[in-house]
Structure formats: structure tokens, C-alpha cells
């Protein structure tokens, strides 16, 4: 028989579930608004990267770019892997998916006899690798939610310096590509060395264009900015993917909370009905006992 204590407990559980549902619904709405902002940031950053590439391609027609330190391909012995994860959780399988690609990349490189150096953006990735005994040589937090060019520059500069000094022979960038609100795919991109083919097909600059500094000097300045733009693009894509994953996860949590609350309400109503039936039976039984005694 259901008692008053059980009913009170069920009411408390229902209130708790309803409170959780309000929180998850609010988080879902916040994530939805941030997806649109992140998409606008991706689109706003794209012309910057395209213009840098076009200028380098135009300069490459009359100048040699293959000798730049960031374009020199060599036999890979030491490899750096930059992994883009999030600072916060509650984003579904977002971090798990990108970490799977990172782990696979690490296994492939180590199987080929190469030494892997790990760089991680986001607290979740840093904690994941630290727990497994593979601490990152450098980790960044506070830039994954709203990436900026300054944050991307710090990440890019850390690996460009060591690649230029030949401490690294290859740099992979592992991030999540935002394709739509429903589809986000973890991918890996070879960040360094930059492929000379990326600057092919350019149009020579007009003769009246005067460069300060010189064309080769301008190339030396722009190629690192091009690498920074690619890192910024990856961070922006990852941020949009994180918000989309969080929105879906919170929507699912809200729906699950509604189902749990409805189930508990049915159990509570059944318990109240049993209690009322029992009380009525006791009253009827008492009345019959009194009438028999008279």
C-alpha cells in the first residue's frame, strides 16, 4: 500500500525533474543562439583568409615561395598534433568524436616510428590525455567558445616556431568541421608544411603595384598569417560544432526529463489512488463493523 511518505517523495522527485528540465531548456536556447553567432563568425573570417591566399598566389607568380621555412617538406620523424576540443561539457559526443580521430592519428604516426608531440585546445581534451598518461606539451583554455585571431595566433605561432627550427617535420590539426546544425564531422588537416600547390593559379600583380617591403619580404610576412587564418578557421568551425552538439544534447535531455516527469506523475497518481481506495475500504469496513455491533 502506498503511504504519504512515498507520495511526498514522488512529488519531490517530480519537482526536481521539472527544475532540471527548465535548466536544460534554457541551455538549449542559449546554444541555439550561439550557433548563429558562430556561423556568422565563420563567414566573416573567410574573406580574410581568401584574400591572403590570393595575394600570396599573385606574388608567387614572380617570386619563389618554396624556400619559405613553412613550406619545406622533409622526411617526418617528429610530428605535432593540435587537437581542438571544448572547455565545457554537456555537448553530447562532440569531444569524444574529435578525440577518437586524434587517437587514431597518434596511433598511425607512432606505428610509423615517429615521435608525437601533443598540443591541445580546450580543458576537456587536456584532461582526457592527462588521465591517460599522455600530457600535452602545451594546452590552451578560454579560447574554444569564442575564438579570436589572437588566440589562433598563439596556437599557430607555437607550432610554426618549432617547425621552422626543424624540431617538427609535420603538424596535424584535428578539429570538427561544421557542415550543418545536424551534421558535424571530426577531421584532420595537415597544417604544416604548407603545400605550394595552395598558391598556384594566381594572377601576376600589375606593374604599377609597388610593394613595401619587397615582394619576397611580403611573402615572408603573409605565409605565417595564412597559417594563423587556417587555425582560426578550424577553431571557429569547432566552436559552431560544439554549440550545435550542445543544443541537440540539451534538447534530448529536455525531452527525457519530460518523459521522466510524466512517468513519475503516473506512479504518484496510482499511489494516491491506492491510498484513497484503502482509506475508503477502511471507512466502509468500520461502518459495517459498527452497524453489526448495534
Catalytic amino acids?
Answer: 84
Element (H, E) at 24: helix 4-60
* Distance between CA atoms of residues 147 and 84, nearest Å: 11
Contact assessment for residue 144 and residue 85, using Cβ atoms and an 8 Å cutoff: yes
* Distance between CA atoms of residues 181 and 109, nearest Å: 32
Q: Which of 59, 287, 249, 79 is closest to 174 using CA atoms?
A: 79
* CB-count burial class (<10 Å; 0-12, 13-18, 19+) for 290: exposed
* Distance between CA atoms of residues 87 and 22, nearest Å: 23
Residues 6+ apart with CB under 8 A from 234: 84, 173, 175, 189
CA angle 110, 88, 18 (to 5 degrees): 135
Across the strands, what pairs with 139?
A: 120
CA angle 13, 16, 22 (to 5 degrees): 145
Contact assessment for residue 84 and residue 241, using Cβ atoms and an 8 Å cutoff: no
Distance separating the N- and C-terminal Cα atoms of the chain = 31
Amino acid at each position: 500500500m502506498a503511504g504519504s511518505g512515498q507520495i511526498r517523495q514522488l512529488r519531490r522527485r517530480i519537482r526536481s525533474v521539472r527544475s532540471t528540465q527548465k535548466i536544460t531548456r534554457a541551455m538549449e536556447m542559449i546554444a541555439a543562439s550561439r550557433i548563429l553567432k558562430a556561423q556568422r563568425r565563420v563567414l566573416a573570417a573567410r574573406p580574410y583568409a581568401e584574400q591572403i591566399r590570393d595575394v600570396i598566389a599573385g606574388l608567387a607568380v614572380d617570386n619563389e615561395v618554396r624556400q619559405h621555412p613553412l613550406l619545406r617538406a622533409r622526411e617526418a620523424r617528429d610530428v605535432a598534433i593540435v587537437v581542438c576540443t571544448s572547455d565545457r561539457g554537456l555537448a553530447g559526443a562532440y569531444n569524444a568524436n574529435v578525440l577518437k580521430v586524434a587517437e587514431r592519428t597518434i596511433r598511425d604516426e607512432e606505428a610509423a616510428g615517429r615521435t608525437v608531440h601533443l598540443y591541445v585546445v580546450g580543458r576537456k581534451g587536456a584532461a582526457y590525455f592527462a588521465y591517460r598518461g599522455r600530457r600535452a606539451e602545451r594546452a590552451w583554455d578560454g579560447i574554444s567558445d569564442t575564438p579570436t585571431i589572437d588566440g589562433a595566433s598563439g596556437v599557430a605561432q607555437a607550432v610554426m616556431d618549432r617547425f621552422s627550427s626543424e624540431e617538427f617535420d609535420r603538424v596535424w590539426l584535428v578539429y570538427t568541421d561544421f557542415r550543418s546544425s545536424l551534421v558535424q564531422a571530426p577531421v584532420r588537416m595537415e597544417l604544416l608544411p604548407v603545400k605550394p600547390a595552395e598558391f598556384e593559379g594566381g594572377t601576376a600583380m600589375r606593374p604599377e603595384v609597388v610593394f613595401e617591403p619587397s615582394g619576397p619580404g611580403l611573402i615572408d610576412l603573409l605565409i605565417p598569417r595564412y597559417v594563423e587564418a587556417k587555425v582560426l578557421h578550424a577553431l571557429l568551425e569547432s566552436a559552431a560544432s560544439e554549440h550545435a552538439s550542445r543544443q541537440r544534447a540539451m534538447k534530448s535531455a529536455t525531452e527525457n526529463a519530460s518523459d521522466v516527469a510524466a512517468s513519475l506523475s503516473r506512479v504518484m497518481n496510482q499511489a494516491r489512488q491506492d491510498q484513497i481506495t484503502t482509506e475508503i475500504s477502511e471507512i466502509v469496513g468500520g461502518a459495517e463493523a459498527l452497524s453489526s455491533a448495534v
